[in-house]
Amino acid sequence: MFDRKGQIRIIEAFLAVGVIFSALLISFTFPASPDLAKQKSLAQVGMQALMKLDTNGTLANLVEGQDWTAIKESLDILLPIGVAFNLTVYDENRQQVNLQPIRNSNLLGHESVSVQYICATRNQVVQLFLLRLQLAWTT
């Protein structure tokens, strides 16, 4: 009887070690690096959206006018459904221009990609801006 109890303890201990070991194994097999091809296509979508806005100088003029709502609405239209974005605008001296966030949802918890875009206003007083657009698929 005593011997059998000892064997069960050993089996239980093995089982416990097995459970912890498999938990560690599962945690190490999680994908550590994001899908680069998917990210590249998302970056291209973002870049093309900014380029489309910038073709006739609209983008830089909206930035100059600090019309963040119009920029957000434009990106909402130009970007595919299911893409979350966060745009940060810097001036020529690398100072952040937008004091309020330009985004449609929170990027936290999503694999994101970032593109940088430089643009100039075509007004009589030329201003230069650097835009950093972070994008992520939410679906």
Partner 1 sequence: MKHRENSGQILLIAAFIMASLLLSAQIYILDVGKTTSETETDSLYEYIITIKLGSEHVVTGSLANITNGGQTSILADNLQRWSDFVGAQYRFGKNVLNYTLEENALYSAGIWTHWGISTFGVSSAYASFTYQLSDREVELDQTYPINVTTKLLVRSTYQTLAGNEKQVNVTVNVSNEANPALAKQITIYYRRTETWLAADVTSNYTFVDYGNGTYRARFQADIPSDTVEVSAHVVDQREIYVRANATSTRV
Binding site for partner 1 (CB under 8 A): 8-9, 12-13, 15-17, 19-20, 22-24, 26-27, 30, 32, 34, 36, 39-40, 43-44, 47-48, 51, 54-55, 57, 60, 92, 107-126, 128, 130, 134, 136
Instruction: Tell me whether residue 68 or residue 117 sits nearer to partner 1 (CB atom).
Output: 117
Instruction: Tell me whether residue 81 or residue 109 sits nearer to partner 1 (CB atom).
Output: 109
User: Phi-psi bin for 65: left (phi > 0), alpha (psi -120 to 50), beta?
Assistant: alpha
Question: Please, what is the minimum distance in Å from the beta carbon of residue 12 to partner 1?
Answer: 4
Question: Please, what is the minimum distance in Å from the beta carbon of residue 80 to partner 1?
Answer: 17
Question: Please, what is the minimum distance in Å from the beta carbon of residue 75 to partner 1?
Answer: 16
Question: Please, what is the minimum distance in Å from the beta carbon of residue 66 to partner 1?
Answer: 18
Task: Please check whether residue 74 is in contact with residue 83, taking contact to mean a CB–CB distance below 8 angstroms.
Answer: no
CB 60: neighbour CB atoms within 10 A?
A: 22
Task: Please check whether residue 65 is in contact with residue 121, taking contact to mean a CB–CB distance below 8 angstroms.
Answer: no
Instruction: Tell me whether residue 19 or residue 69 sits nearer to partner 1 (CB atom).
Output: 19
